[in-house]
């Protein structure tokens, strides 16, 4: 089981450099590929205006990170070419095209990357809570606005897929709420109770699901014991499922901006993993996102 | 303006010891009073079974933290006596009585602590983001489940009241969402847009309100600038308003359990400030909650 990102990066080096297919002439995306190349895990395939890319490349003396440039000037065409390229090998990194245009290509029924799974955003950070060193996952602060029960089940499947790739065969999934008791006035707690029961009945597999849990008793054995909570997930959760995009987004950004821990974010559920970075992401977060995405592409 | 909790504690010492009215024979609450006494800001008035309290007191050699014990064996009576005591002086700290029983007494129309304001929970932590040392407030992760617009306005008033007590005459209020754009499919962003307009029209006073903002661009000038957001709040928010209890609770607990920063929590809106601690709170958080509550009681 990978306990931190350095272990993931060391593991990835063993496979040689993975192509990172960048769609759109974005400076930050090129920088991210350059960084991945520098640490020996990535090489870039750039889809977009050759002229614009060449201008960005000028900043770098060592051009070893450039594997290929696929010239295209139309955004829709760029996305199609990138999707087709990534089908063969590598991972997809959004550059300067619009997210909607890229997702439209990804979800194209004829030549896209659509699967039976839903598309979700999975974030990851290094946790060392109470001495337990591990990578904790958060879903979903980026795609699902307010998922219904059936969608949450699929969302859990996607996060479990990532946990499996991290080497965890049976992750503990905490359904986060504001409290650990069921309160009919708080629909999130009602959903959590339903999902736990569904898990007990074998409707959710490959993980242990419990909720409602508040963040303290999901992560901390101290809080779990102080509150006398009986749960096979509480105190040591591997996956934190938030009930909506607001709480998921706030949690992820709090980890990064208040907790000071770089956050890796990847998009799961397409035939190939995708990265849709935010412009405000720092270099360390981008590199971790690339490493996580490479790991789940294998 | 108080930049951190040590400054608040030093300030409180100037007033001599504030009575902390504990309702219910709780070991952790007695410990919190003992700690407040030790640093020179508090002294205890204990309402509950004298016999049970005496047993807890035995642990302490120095009994200087005990100002008075008011003997009562019935929980409802304890709450009434505590409310009457705190009317004269001091702050109220929930011990081993049920929160519902205490709030019923607090909200009693004849002899309670009811005011025109609503009851909200305000949390506070020390932030040093990008070198700006200050105390940032969060509302509401403890009381309001999913407030409507009118309630959010009253909630903002309560948080502004606390910010004023911290010495900030015109706090910047960020309405947290998952994104910084208005999306009709995300009601939180629609509410934020309405609240900003209400502020522009003078319907919310004593602060600067803006939203929708994501947590990164609320706190970070870097994120604000990278995303090109034009806002008089973004990048330097003093108060973070979350749209519901789930996101507020997750944010507060993330600050404490992932960020490793002690969280002070107080209940605002009654005639006297109240503390309703969680059993899982650590000593440092309890002491900060007491200091914050003492500060706003003056």
Q: pLDDT tens digits, residue range B43-94?
A: 999 999 999 999 999 999 999 999 999 999 999 999 999 999 999 989 999 9
Contact B278, B213 (CB under 8 A): no
Of the candidates B145, B250, B280, which has its C-beta nearest A250's C-beta? Answer: B250
The answer, yes or no, to whether residue B279 has pLDDT greater than 90, is no
Q: pLDDT tens digits, residue range A115-136?
A: 999 999 999 999 999 999 999 9
* CB neighbour list of residue A33: distance below 8 Å, 6 or more residues apart: A20, A22, A42, A43, A44, A65, A93
Q: pLDDT tens digits, residue range B164-223?
A: 999 999 999 999 999 999 999 999 999 999 999 999 999 999 999 999 999 999 999 999
Q: β-strands A120-127, A264-268: how paired?
A: antiparallel
* Strand order, beta sheet including A120-127: A66-71, A42-48, A18-23, A91-94, A274-275, A264-268, A120-127, A134-139, A239-241, A172-176, A208-213
Q: pLDDT tens digits, residue range A85-107?
A: 999 989 999 999 999 999 999 99
Taking the C-alpha atoms of residue B27 and residue B33, their distance in angstroms, rounded to an integer, is 10
Domain spans of chain A, in order of start: 5-115+270-296, 120-257
| Chain B residue nearest residue A219, CA to CA | B257
Asked if domains A5-115+270-296 and A120-257 share a fold, the reply is no
Contact A159, A122 (CB under 8 A): yes
Domain B120-257: CATH superfamily is Isopropylmalate Dehydrogenase (3.40.718.10)
**What pLDDT does residue A90 have?**
95
> pLDDT means per 10 residues in chain A (298 residues)?
97 96 95 96 97 96 96 96 95 93 94 94 95 97 96 98 98 97 96 98 98 96 94 98 98 96 96 90 92 95
Domain A5-115+270-296 bears CATH identifier 3.40.50.10950: yes
Taking the C-alpha atoms of residue A241 and residue A158, their distance in angstroms, rounded to an integer, is 11
Beta carbons of A220 and B254 less than 8 Å apart: no
Q: pLDDT tens digits, residue range B118-140?
A: 999 999 999 999 999 999 999 99
Taking the C-alpha atoms of residue A61 and residue A67, their distance in angstroms, rounded to an integer, is 15
Q: Which of A187, A254, A282 to mutate to test the interface with B (most CBs of B within 10 A)?
A: A254
The answer, yes or no, to whether residue B232 has pLDDT greater than 90, is yes
Q: Which residues of B touch A (CB under 8 A)?
A: 125, 127, 129, 141-142, 145, 176-179, 185-186, 188, 214-217, 219-220, 222-223, 226-227, 242-251, 253-261, 278-280
Give the mean model confidence (pLDDT) for residues B38-46: 97
Contact B271, B192 (CB under 8 A): no
**Which residues from chain A sit within 8 angstroms of residue B145, using beta carbons?**
178, 185-186
Q: Which of A26, A174, A215, A276 to mutate to test the interface with B (most CBs of B within 10 A)?
A: A215
* CB neighbour list of residue A205: distance below 8 Å, 6 or more residues apart: none
């Amino acid at each position: 089981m990978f306990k931190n990102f350095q272990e993931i990066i060391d593991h990835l080096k063993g496979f040689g450099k993975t192509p990172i297919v960048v769609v759109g002439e974005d400076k930050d995306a090129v920088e991210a590929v350059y960084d991945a190349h520098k640490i020996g895990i990535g090489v870039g395939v750039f889809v977009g205006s050759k002229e614009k890319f060449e201008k960005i490349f000028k900043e770098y003396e060592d051009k070893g990170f450039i594997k290929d440039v696929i010239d295209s000037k139309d955004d829709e065409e760029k996305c199609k070419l990138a999707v087709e390229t990534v089908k063969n090998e590598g991972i997809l990194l959004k550059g300067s095209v619009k997210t909607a245009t890229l997702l439209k290509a990804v979800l194209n029924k004829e030549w896209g990357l659509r699967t039976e799974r839903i598309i979700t955003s999975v974030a990851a950070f290094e946790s060392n809570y109470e001495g337990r060193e591990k990578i904790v996952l958060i879903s979903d602060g980026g795609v699902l606005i307010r998922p219904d029960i059936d969608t949450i089940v699929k969302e859990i499947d996607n996060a479990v897929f990532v946990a499996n790739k991290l080497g965890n065969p049976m992750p503990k999934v905490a359904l986060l709420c504001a409290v650990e008791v069921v309160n009919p006035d708080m629909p999130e707690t009602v959903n959590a109770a339903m999902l736990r029961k569904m898990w007990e009945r074998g409707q959710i597999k490959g993980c242990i699901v419990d909720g409602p849990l508040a963040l303290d008793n999901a992560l901390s054995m101290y809080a779990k014991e102080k509150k006398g909570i009986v749960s096979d997930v509480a105190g040591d959760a591997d996956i934190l499922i938030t009930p909506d995009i607001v709480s998921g987004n706030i949690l992820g950004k709090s980890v990064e901006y208040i907790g000071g821990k770089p956050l890796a974010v990847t998009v799961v559920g397409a035939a190939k993993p995708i990265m849709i970075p935010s412009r405000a992401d720092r270099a360390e977060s981008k590199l971790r996102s690339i490493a996580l995405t490479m790991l789940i592409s294998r």
